[in-house]
Amino acid sequence: MIELERLTKKYGAKTAVDGISATIKPGIITGFLGPNGAGKSTTMRMIVGLDRPTSGTALVNGNRYAATRAPLAEVGALLDAKAVDGGRSARNHLLALGATVGIGKRRVEDVLASVGLTDVAHRPAKSFSLGMGQRLGIAAALLAEPDVLLLDEPVNGLDIDGIQWIRELLGELAADGRTVLLSSHLMTEMQLVADHLIVIGQGRILADSSIQDFIEESGGGSAVVVVSPDAGLLAPLLAGDGVTLTTREPGRFEVRGRTAPEIGDIASGHSLRIHELTPTQASLETAYLQLTQDSVEYAGTTRKAA
């Protein structure tokens, strides 16, 4: 469990994290979502005491991190996969970190095997690809079986297999009763992994809710795109309480408030033709973008062709 209490960090005049209060619970995966520069990394750095809060507190399992007995066994953190001394082999890197809490060769070999780095563990870390570096970072985070895992953009640089692997891994860790906080600036990543979402923008919490609630609160849930030559007949049949229909083009409309099976059943009940019936999660991405729109720090600018 992580408890943040009006956590604030200022760098000179710049407020990176602005009075964040939240509780990150064990047993689920909490996604920490926000555009670049929102303050995710700074918050995570304060949790493990790398940055000193300007004010407020961050507690890990009820204690300040610096006061914990066996830090590596309390919190496993992957904050920057590149933060490794490139001249040292992966194995020796883990041995050195593990030694701080009395972990030795056996466990290091186990972890190397579980992240799939055994064959390259003798190689200097500087020869690692971004994906291998991420795996080494995850190995370090898992080394002492911590209760709490902090992963800052862990999916960056991983291929599809790697992403799948992280997703399974985090699921197991959460199911095991551990606290898992992972950050990302992409909703698409989060909706695949997280159970709970904390959205921040410009250092403030914009939303703190389960994925389900987030979807429901943000525009009536997921939509179903319907393509039908009988759209004109079908649409009135779908109408009802809490159902919205949006027509995009003739013969194609979007339904919120009804599931794809419901729509299919209604259509077949009236012998109406359906050519396409596609549930979309677009609303989640859209909701996120709308939520954070006002807080994007460096909005992209389109360069006009000369």
Ligand X SMILES: Nc1ncnc2c1ncn2[C@@H]1O[C@H](COP(=O)(O)OP(=O)(O)O)[C@@H](O)[C@H]1O
Using CB under 6 A as the criterion, which residues of the chain lie in contact with ligand X when the complex forms? 11, 14, 16, 34, 36-42, 297
Q: Residues in the site for another protein, rule: CB under 8 A? A: 45, 48-52, 65-66, 68-73, 75, 77, 79-80, 82-89, 92, 95-97, 99-103, 107, 110, 113-114, 116, 140, 142-145, 165, 168-169, 172-173, 176
- Region class of 281: left (phi > 0), else alpha (psi between -120 and 50), else beta: alpha
Q: CB of 168: closest distance to Mg ion in angstroms?
A: 24
- Please say which residue, 176 or 265, places its beta carbon nearer to another protein: 176
Could you tell which of ligand X, Mg ion, another protein, none binds residue 77, using a CB distance below 5 to 8 A set by kind? another protein
Q: CB of 196: closest distance to ligand X in angstroms?
A: 18
Q: Let me know: does 283 contact 214? Beta carbons within 8 Å.
A: no
Q: Let me know: does 97 contact 78? Beta carbons within 8 Å.
A: no
Could you tell which of ligand X, another protein, Mg ion, none binds residue 34, using a CB distance below 5 to 8 A set by kind? ligand X
- Please say which residue, 16 or 125, places its beta carbon nearer to ligand X: 16
Is residue 26 helix, strand or coil?
A: coil
Could you tell which of ligand X, another protein, Mg ion, none binds residue 70, using a CB distance below 5 to 8 A set by kind? another protein
Q: CB of 79: closest distance to ligand X in angstroms?
A: 10
Q: Let me know: does 73 contact 144? Beta carbons within 8 Å.
A: yes
Q: Does 283 bind Mg ion (CB under 5 A)?
A: no
Q: Answer positive or negative: Cα dihedral of 268, 271, 272, 275.
A: positive
- Please say which residue, 173 or 274, places its beta carbon nearer to another protein: 173
Q: Does 41 bind Mg ion (CB under 5 A)?
A: yes
AA letter at 268: S
Residues 6+ apart with CB under 8 A from 301: none
Distances (CA, A) of 213 to 76, 204, 256: 29, 19, 15
- Please, which of residues 164-223 interact with Mg ion by CB under 5 A? none
Q: How many amino acids of this chain bind Mg ion (CB under 5 A)?
A: 1
Q: Across the chain, where does the E strand assignment appear?
A: 2-11, 14-24, 29-33, 55-60, 75-78, 148-152, 179-184, 196-201, 204-210, 223-227, 244-249, 252-256, 276-280
